[in-house]
Structure 1
C-alpha cells in the first residue's frame, strides 16, 4: 500500500486548514493566515510549530498530556492492541479484555462505592451520560419530575447541547442549549465575589444560595448538582476551603446526587488519581473523567457511578438505552491502562505533589506585577487574571484581550499558554523539571512586562 504523506510545513498545513472548522475559534479571524499556529511535532514537554521552532507546551495540548508527549510505551501499547483487536463494540452482550480491565482498574482507583464505569469519548459525553443516567434512575424510582440540574456561574462542563447548558451562560451566547433543565448557582470565586466578607462568611453565603435554590425549585424536581473540584475553563477558580463537603452534605439531605466533574482534575493534575476525596474531602455519587485518563493519546472518557445508582438501573427490565459506537474502544482502553501504569511505576503522582507545588509557587510570584490581579489554582492547574487597576480589581474589557496579547508574546519567547479573555491558563505536562518550571515562570514574567509596557 502506498504510504500516506502529509505535509507539515506551515504554508501547506494552513492551505489545507481552510477546510477545517476549528473549535472555540473566531472563524472570521482565522481567515487571516497569520492568526493560526501549526503544531507539527511533539516530544516530552515540547512541541514544534510548522517552522520547526521548539515551544514549551504550557497547556498540555488542552489539559491532557499528563505524562508528556511521544512516550514510546504508549505508542507501542496502542499499536499492539490494534494488531490484536482493532475494534469491537461494548453494545448488547459484547465486551473485550481491555475495556473490562480498564473498568476494573478505574473502580479500584475511584473513592467510595464508585464501582461501575461507562465509557465515552469526551468529557462532554461523560457529563451528558451522567445526566441521562440520573434521569433514567429517577424514572425507575417513580420520580419523573426529578430532572433539574444545578450548576454554577463560571462552570465548564462541555459543548454538547446538554453539557453546554450546564456550562456558565457566557459560553453559550448566541447559541441554543438545553437551558430549561439547568439553574446556575453563584460562582465560588472569593477574590471576585466575596467583597466585604470573610472567606468563611462567603462560604456560608454560597451554602445559603444552594439552599434557597433548592427551596424555590423543590428538591423533588432536582436530580443533581454538578461541580468541578477546581473550575477549569471558567478561569481556574478554587472554591473556599470546605466548600465541596458542605455542598455535598446539603445535596444528600435533599436526595440530590452530587456529580464531580473531574475531566481536568483527575489522573495527576492535582497530585492524585482523583481529587474529589483526596483533596476536597467529598465522595460524590458520580465522577466524570476524560483528558488525563489517556493523557490525550486516544479519545476516551468515563462516567463512574456508585453501587446504589447501578443497583437501581440494573434491576428487572433494566435495559440501558444509552451508548456510543466507540465506548471502550480497544486502543483507547489500552492507552488508558498504559497511562495509569506509567503513573504508578514512575510515581508521577508523588512527584507532582512536590513539583506541582513548585510550579504553583513560581507562578504565584507573578502577583508582584502591576498587570496581575490574581494568580490562582493548584499544582499544575494555574490561572493568571490581568486587571486595569490592581487596587480596585477593575477588569479589562473583553475587547482588550490582554490574555491573548500575553500569550502571543509568550509564544514568541518559546511558551504555549492558553488565553481566555483577560486570563491566561497554564496546564502543562506533569513531567516538568524544576529547570523547565523556572523557564516558564521567567518567560511569563518577561511577557507580562512587555505587554504592560505596550498598554
Structure 2
C-alpha cells in the first residue's frame, strides 16, 4: 500500500502557494485546506487517506476518469520521442498536426482550422484577438466590441475576465470599458418574473437586438456565450435561445463564439454541444478541459474556413502565439483521450447515465432548502433558498453552499460551492449505483445543513 504524504508538512509548504479563486485570508485557518494526494477512476484520496467521489471532475474536466494507464503511457511515450517543440513560425510536429485534423473532423460544419493554447481563458482571448485581426484585414477596424451576458464565465486572463459577469471583477480592474457589453442573464427561474418561458426568451432576444441597435452592428465583432453557463451557477437558457441568438448574429454580420470549454467532449452527451444539442453551428468554438480530460493543459480555438481565409490572406502575419501552443505531450494526451472516448462510447453512455444523474438530483427538489435544481446531464447546479415560494435567499446565503459542501465532503463526496449554489460536474464514467450514492450523500448533507440554519 502506498503511504500517504505527511499532511502537516504539505500544508506548511502550501503556505507559499496562492490558491485560485479562494478567500486567501480564510485559508490561513486550521483545517481550511484539503490536500488531494491520489486519484483513480471516479475517486480521489486526501493526504489522511480519506476516499472521496470526485463530484467536480477535478474542475469540470476529468471526463474519462483519473489514472488511466493508456493516457499516462501516451504522454510518457511522446516525451521520450519529442519532448517539446512549438507550432511556431514554420514548424509543426506529428501530434499537433494529427490532433488538428481530428478536431476538425469532429467539429460541426465549416469549423476546420484549429489554434492551440493552454487554457480556456487563453482560447477565449485568442478568439477575440483573431476577430479583431480579421476585421482589420477586412478594412473595418472599428468592428471590435463584444457582446457577453450577465452570469457568463469566460476565463481569468484580462480580456476573458472582462467578458465574464461584472461581479467577478469587483476589487479588480477590467478591460471591459468600451469593449464588452453584458446582456441580460438568461436565468428564467430568477429573472423571468411573471413571464412564461417563451415570453422570457422573446425578451432576451429583444435585449440582444436592442443592444445591437444601440451599439451599432458595424462596431460589434462577436457575441460570446457558453451553451450552459458554468461558473455563473450552471444556468440554462430557455429552449431555442442559442439558435435564435445565432440567427440574430448572422443577420447582423456578428460572429457567434461558443465557449464550449466545459460542454465539449462528452459532458452533455456529445463531442460538441453547439450543433448536436442546441441546433446551430457557431463561427468559432473554444474548448479545453475535457479535450485532454485534464491530464495535460491544452485548449483549442476552432475557427471557420471563412475566418481563416481572411487571416491567412497574402501580405500579412498572424502575430499571435504561445510558447506551449500544440505542446507534443498535450497533443498526444488529447488524441488518446479522444480515442478512449470514441472506443468506449463515453458521450453515448452519458446520454443515458447523465440523464439518470440529472433525474436523481432533481428529486432533491422536495427538500425545503432547495430552490432550484438545474443543468443538464453531468453539469448540474443546486440553488439553496430560505423561502422557495418567494425565492428569497438566506441572510448569510454565501455560506450555505460551503456548509453543504463540507457536509458532503465528510460523507465522501467533493462538490463545489458557489455562494448559495452547489455545483456537480463529475467524471463521465459513473454508473447508476455511484450516481445513487451521490444522490444519497447530497440528500443527507442538505438535510443536515437545513436543520442547522
Per the shorter chain, which TM-score range?
over 0.9
Deviation at 1:395, TM superposition (A): 1.6
| Matching residue of 1:3 | none
Residues 144-223 of structure 1: matches in 2 within 5 Å?
A: 144-180=141-177, 181-223=179-221
Of 7-16 and 291-300, deviating more is 7-16
Shift of 1:164: 0.2
Partner of 1:25: 22
* Paired position in structure 2 for 1:15: 12
| Aligned-partner Cα distance in 2 for 1:45–1:233 | 21
Query: What is the rounded CA distance, in whole Å, between the counterparts of 2:394 and 2:222 in structure 1?
Result: 35
Among candidates 230, 233, 237, match of residue 232 of structure 1:
230
Deviations 1:226-268 (A, max 9, x none): 0000000000001101000000000111100000000000000
What residue number does 1:331 align with? Answer: 329
Contact 2:86 2:323 (8 Å CA) reproduced: yes
Which residue is equivalent to 1:55? 52
- Answering whether residue 97 of structure 2 is matched by residue 100 of structure 1, we say yes
Deviations 1:149-208 (A, max 9, x none): 000000000000000000001111101110121000001111011111111100000000
CA distance in 1, matches of 2:289, 2:414: 18
Alignment of 1:132 with 2:118, yes or no, is: no
- Taking the aligned partners of 2:240 and 2:321, their CA distance within structure 1 comes to 35
Q: In structure 1, how many angstroms separate the alpha carbons of the residues matched to 2:353 and 2:28?
A: 40
Query: C-alpha displacement at 1:41, in angstroms?
Result: 0.2
C-alpha distance in 2 between matches for 1:116 and 1:124: 19
Give RMSD over aligned pairs: 1.1
Match of 1:396, SS state, is coil
Please report how far the alpha carbon of residue 433 of structure 1 lies from its aligned counterpart in structure 2 after TM superposition: 1.1
Pairing 1:282-431 to 2, within 5 Å after superposition: 282-397=280-395, 400-431=398-429
Task: Determine the C-alpha separation between the residues in 1 that align with 2:156 and 2:117.
Answer: 15
Partner residue in 2 for 1:268:
266
Q: Report the Cα offset of residue 401 of structure 1.
A: 1.3
Matched-pair contact (CA < 8 Å) for 1:148–1:222: yes
Q: Secondary structure at the match of 2:66?
A: coil
Q: Which residue of 1 aligns with 2:120?
A: 123
- Contact conserved, 1:382 with 1:425, CA < 8 A, in 2? yes
SS at match of 1:149: strand
Contact preservation (8 Å) 2:4, 2:49:
no
Deviation at 1:396? 2.6
Q: Deviations over 1:266-302 (max 9, x none)?
A: 0000000000000000100000000000000000000
Secondary structure of the equivalent of 1:56?
Answer: strand
Unaligned runs of 5+ in 1: 1-5
Q: Distance between the aligned counterparts of 1:8 and 1:111, measured in 2?
A: 46
Counterpart check, 1:89 vs 2:86: yes
Residue-pair matches, total:
451
Contact 2:405 2:417 in 1 (8 A): yes
Contact residue 42 and residue 48 of structure 1 kept, 8 A: yes
Superposition TM-score, scaled by structure 1 size: 0.98
Q: Deviations over 1:345-404 (max 9, x none)?
A: 011111101000000000000000000000000000000000010111112346541000
Contact 1:7–1:13 (CA under 8 A) maintained in structure 2: no
In structure 2, stretches of 5+ residues that fail to align are none
